[in-house]
Structure 1
Amino acid sequence: MGKRRRRALAAGAVLGPAMIAGALLTAAPASAHGAMMVPGSRTYLCWKDGLSTTGQIVPHNPACAAAVAQSGPNSLYNWFAVLRSDGAGRTRGFIPDGKLCSGGAVVYDFSGYDLARDDWPVTHLTSGAGIEFRYNKWAAHPGTFRTYITKDSWSPTRPLSWDDLEDQPFYSVTDPPSVGSPGNEDAYYHWNARLPSGKSGRHLLYTVWQRSDSNETFYGCSDVVFDGGNGEVTGVGEDGGGPTDPPTDPPTDPPGDPGKVCKAGYRSIGGWNGGYQGEITVTNTGTLPLAGWMAHFTFANGETVDSLWNGTYTQSGPDVTVSNANYNGALAVGASTTFGFTVKAPSSPTALEPHCMTS
């Protein structure tokens, strides 16, 4: 089979036809919403696959077409609504085997996304590599995200069961930072994680978002292949093709991506027994001035912030979010500012990888 052209999707792209699609619906929307965007869930990537200039859903991917044939186009107009209002974070014993990807949803019919097929849109990844997860916040809520991965024995050609997933999530995060205003594709939660090592070939990531302010819980499947990829997506659109050879070049940052309008870089200032000092530089890498910024980083070794200057911070477990002070939030294009901090460290210091966003 000949090599087909890879199409890398920009998770932050704004697509106007989605708004037109909403106007075509007669069903009332569900009360709250969200779905994994990176790596994309089945409903999200099938929505991307089916978008047309008229706002109608016209699937190109055969698995997406089969899902819409079974569940109807409302399943994609509401790609962010795979939920159970009575979920309360429950998984095994609550969602039946074979219905994990649909979450056993009752508000809309998502049963088509449980179909056992090997031709769903797929995200190309590298085992053991770092990844920035992005989860859409069509409506914003506090809560915890848990992400599981399939065992090596899993096959995409049989219905997904709980026994196909590793018993414990390989990563979880509570109340991660976010960008954008709810109600559009540009709004999402994001967090850095490391993918499991020793994985190869096709797998599935299963994400559960459990709200802490209600029992509402969201479920979703993201099809991935560990082939040395850097987040490229295949199987979407008329020329999307199917799984291809490993990519040789990393994807470029899409213009206007709200997560890329600034960057944050860390350097160690020094350390001592039981602590260390660090500094983070925030730079406006966008095309417009910034009125404010936030930086987020995650400790890995039980550290706590002892003091911080040139900003204000909150720490929740290992996650630290820093907002600008009232005198260094405005940054012209290309301008930078720094904030520093000291840390209490019970063990070795974390090599921090901060992420910057606008506030």
Structure 2
Amino acid sequence: MLTRTFGSVTRRRGVVTLIIGMLVCTFLWTPTASAHGTIVSPATRAYQCWQTWGSHHLDPAMKTQDPMCYQAFQANADTMWNWMSALRDGLRGNFQGSTPDGQLCSNALSRNNSLNTPGDWKATNLGSSFTMHLYDQASHGADYFKVYVSKNGYDPTTQKLGWGNLDFITQTGRFAPAKDITFNVQTSGYRGRHIVFTIWQASHADQTYMWCSDVNFG
């Protein structure tokens, strides 16, 4: 009887240990439930990494097939998991004064510093006219978007992005709360590799998001 009882207790402990282990793994590898958003087209750096590797982040192929995402994931896995949370509060429109050169792609967030690293990030092919698409989990809406394109002669594969490397393209008007917001952008005179740099000023609070989208103008 004692042996049977001991064996039953041992089995129950084993099941409990297994369940705890599964829960720990879930918490470790599930994105934080922060309801925000990002530009999904042309994909921002963190979103491109999550879209490509989120479901198989342990695949060793990431190291050779997508070395920029690999270095970002190694530096801080949270950068990829929390692609929707690259925000800062209370900038009051002082974007340039609050964001040092070389930290634009991370929105000056130290946890996302790997996004500032120059290199061969995966790029989206664009024409001179293209549509930008914000996916916002919480439907915050927008006071406006500011869109910039890196200047001709700037090389995103070898240089960190600074304010002096950008051409201002457009500022939108307000957008009502919605999960999906799209707007058109018209450019001219750009060819080859560039960065589309976007600032989203959310409407629900003074929250500012900044992102780099790697593109190839054809």
Do both proteins adopt the same fold according to a TM-score greater than 0.5, normalized to the shorter chain?
Answer: yes
Write the deviation string for residues 287-316 of structure 1: whole angstroms up to 9, x where unpaired.
xxxxxxxxxxxxxxxxxxxxxxxxxxxxxx
Partner of 2:175: 175
2:68 is equivalent to residue 63 of structure 1 = yes
What is the CA–CA distance in structure 1 between the aligned matches of 2:80 and 2:124, rounded to whole Å?
A: 19
Aligned residue runs from structure 1 range 294-309, under 5 A: none
1:77 aligns with 2:81: yes
The equivalences for 1:191-230 within 5 A come to 191-194=183-186, 196-227=187-218
Look up the match of 1:45: 48
**Partner SS state of residue 79, structure 2:** helix
Unaligned 5+ runs, structure 2: 1-22
Measure the CA separation in 2 of the matches of 1:173 and 1:57: 41
Distance 1:204 1:77 in 2: 22
Q: Does structure 1 conserve the Cα–Cα contact (< 8 Å) formed by 2:30 and 2:81? A: no
Task: Report the alpha carbon displacement of residue 218 of structure 1 after superposing the two structures with TM.
Answer: 0.7
What aligned pairs does 1:320-339 form with structure 2 within 5 A after superposition?
Answer: none
Match of 2:153, SS state, is: coil
Give the whole-Å Cα distance in 2 for the aligned partners of 1:35 and 1:151.
23
Shift of 1:98: 0.5
Seen in structure 2, the aligned counterparts of structure 1 residues 169 and 25 have a Cα distance that, compared at 3 Å, is farther
Confirm or deny that 1:104 pairs with 2:108.
yes
The aligned amino acid for 1:112 is S
Shift of 1:173: 3.5
Higher helix proportion (structure 1 or 2): 2
TM-score (norm 2): 0.77
Aligned equivalents of 2:79, 2:33: Cα separation in 1? 12
**Which structure has the higher relative contact order (CA within 8 Å, separation 6+)?**
2
Aligned residues: 189
Does structure 2 conserve the Cα–Cα contact (< 8 Å) formed by 1:176 and 1:190? no
Partner of 2:118: 116
Other structure's SS at 1:190 match: strand
- Show structure 1 runs of 5+ residues with no match: 1-19, 179-186, 228-359
What does residue range 243-322 of structure 1 map to in structure 2 within 5 Å?
Answer: none
Distance 1:50 1:28, change over 3 A: closer
TM-score, normalization by structure 1: 0.48
